[in-house]
A and B are shown apart, each in its own frame.
Chain A
Amino acid sequence: MSEVHEFAVAILRSGTPLIYAALAGVIVQRSGIWHLGLEGLMIMGACATVVGIVLSGSFYVAILLAISICVAASILQWFVIERLRANQIIAGLGITGIGIGGTAFAVETIFGSLAAIAAPFGVPRIGAAFGPYSGLSIFVLMMPFAVFAMWAVLSRSRFGLRLAAAGEHPFAARSVGADPSIMRLVAFCVAGVLCAIAGAELAAGSLQIFAQNMVAGRGFMGFAAVIFGAGHAVGSALAATFFSLVGVVGIRMQIHFGAFVSHDLLLCLPYLATVFGVWITGRARNQFKP
Chain B
Amino acid sequence: MHKDFDINIEHISKTEGHASIEINVKDSKVEDVKLKVNENKRFFTQGIRNKPFEIIPQLISRICGTCSTAHLTCNIEAIEKALGVKPSEQTMLLRKLTMYGLMIRDHAMHLYFFCLPDMFGKDSVLDFDESKNHLIEQAFEVKAAGNNLSKLIAGRAVHAIYEQIGYFSSIPKMEDVKKSINELKSVRNNVVDLIQLFYDSNFNFERQTNFVALVTDDFNFVEGKIKSFDGIIIEESDYWDYLNRVVIPYSQATGFQFEGKEYMVGALSRMNLNKDALHKDTKNELGKILNVFPSMNIYHNNLSQAIEILHSIDHSIEILESNDFKEEKKPEIKAKQGKGVGVVEAPRGTLYHMIDLDKEGKVRYGNFVIPTAQNQIKMENDIRILVSKIIDKDKHEIQHEIEKMIRAYDPCMSCASHFLKIRWK
Say whether A and B bind each other: no
- List A residues at the B interface (Cβ < 8 Å): none
